[in-house]
Amino acid sequence: MEKEQHELYEYARKRLNQKKRLYFHFVLLILGSIFLFLANHFLVFGYTYNWSIWVITIWAFLFILHFIKIFITDRFMNKNWEREQISRLVALQQKKITEFQVQIEEEEEEEISTNKPQ
């Protein structure tokens, strides 16, 4: 039981760290967006083109991908999901191996029966 509790603790700690990094990313996105917007409109960097919107949009897209990874993908694709998938794949391989063994045995019996002198 102690091992299971340790695994639960490690999973909870990992999820907490993931969420902390996501929240930090969000705050950084907001502050960075404000800075980029102000830099684009009040400081003269090269063109007078509104480049900050493109940078903020790309950064927001990366944040959305980060959000999806943390709250959607990692939520159901955890250690239990991995174990279930491995068990399912091992069972599938065992089934195929058994089918091949039965097929080989049937072919050997058939070969023996056809090679028997009558």
pTM value is 0.62
Ranges in the chain, pLDDT < 70: 1, 44-48, 116-118
At residue 12, the pLDDT reads 85
At residue 116, the pLDDT reads 64
At residue 29, the pLDDT reads 95
| Cα dihedral sign, 72-78-82-83 | negative
Write the DSSP symbol of residue 49: S
